[in-house]
Structure 1
Amino acid sequence: MDNKDIGLSHIAFAVKDLDASIAFYQQFAGMKVIHRRGEKGSNARPVAWLSDMTRHFALVLAEDPQSTDTKLGPFGHLGVACASKDAMDAKLAEARDAGVLRQEPTDSGAPVGYWAFLDDPDGNTLELSYGQEIGYVIGHQ
C-alpha cells in the first residue's frame, strides 16, 4: 500500500463540546467530518476528524468536558486560507454576528496577506487569511 500520509498530518485539540466545535470549524473553516467515533455517555471518548479535503491533513477534536489543555493562542493559531477576499469578508461578517471575531482584518502585504483572528468555542485561535504566499515561498526554496 502506498502511504501518502507523510509529513505534517494533523493537529489535535481537546474540546469541551464536540458538536459545537464541529459546527464552528464547518462554518468558518469550510471543514467536514471525515471520521467520527465514540458517543456521549459511552466509555469511548467522542472524537472527530475534520478536513477541508484539499490535502492529507486533519483537525482532530477529542471531547473532554474536564479538559485543562492549554489553549492555542492568543497568537498560536490554526490558519485557514480563503479562496478570495470577498469570501473571507463574508466569513468575517458571520463571525462578527456570532460574536467570535477576535481581531478585525489586517492587510500586511506579501507574503503575509489579509488576515483576521477568530475564537473557537474553547478559545483556540483560528486565523482566516487571503493572499498568504506559502506555496510561492516554498517553491522558491
Structure 2
Amino acid sequence: MNPQSSPRLTHLALHVVDMDACVAFYRDYCDMRVCHERSTAQQRIVWLAEPGREQDFIFVLMDGGRDLQLPDDDYRHFGFALPSRAAVDEIARRAKERGELVWPPRDEPYPVGYYCGLRDPNGNYVEFSYGQPLGPGAAQ
C-alpha cells in the first residue's frame, strides 16, 4: 500500500457517563485540551487533544456511556509516555491520593519500561510510562 494512501489512526471515540469529570481527568493528568465541542438535543460531544496535536490525534468524548467496571488485572488501556521515572512516580502519587491508582509504579523488561496505571472517571485504564520505545524517553 502506498504510504500516502495508508490509513492513519486519528482518533478514539468514547461514550462516557460524566463528561465534565472525564474532561478534567484528561486535562489534569494528560495535559489534553478541548479543541472542539458541540451539543445536539441528544448528546454533548467534546474533542480533546494534546497541545499541537489537534489535527493529528484526538479523543472524542460523547455522553451517554456506562462505567466499564474493569477488573484490576485487565490490561486494556490508553498509553501516555512521560519524560522520566520521576514523572511516573508523581502521577502515581497524585492518583493514589485521589483513589484513581490501579497499578502502582513498576518496572518491566523492555519494551514495557517503568509505568503506572490509573482509572479514569468512566472506568478506562490509562497507563503512564517511561522508557518504552515510543514517545518521550524512547531514545534512552
Structure 1 length-normalised TM: 0.79
Q: Distance in 2 between matches of 1:112 and 1:76?
A: 14
Instruction: List per-residue Cα deviations over 1:40-86 (Å, max 9, x = no partner).
Output: xx60411111111354100111011xx34867772111101112211
Higher helix share: 1
Report the Cα offset of residue 117 of structure 1: 1.2
Q: Percent identity?
A: 38
Quick one: structure 1 residues 79 and 94, their matched pair in 2 at CA, closer, same or farther if it must change by over 3 Å? same
Q: Distance in 2 between matches of 1:85 and 1:54?
A: 24
Give the structure 2 partner of residue 86 of structure 1.
86
Q: Distance in 2 between matches of 1:122 and 1:44?
A: 19
Aligned residues: 126
Coordinate RMSD, CA, aligned: 2.2
In the TM superposition, 1:1-40 aligns within 5 A as: 7-38=8-39
CA contact (8 A) 1:37 1:48 kept: yes
Q: For residue 106 of structure 2, what is the amino acid of its counterpart?
A: T
Structure 2 unaligned spans of 5+: 136-140
Q: Distance in 2 between matches of 1:128 and 1:54?
A: 20
CA contact (8 A) 1:111 1:134 kept: no
Give the structure 2 partner of residue 108 of structure 1.
108
SS, match of residue 49 in structure 1 = strand
Q: Distance in 2 between matches of 1:102 and 1:114?
A: 15
Report the Cα offset of residue 30 of structure 1: 1.8
Structure 2 length-normalised TM: 0.80
Q: Distance in 1 between matches of 2:119 and 2:67?
A: 16
Report the Cα offset of residue 88 of structure 1: 1.9
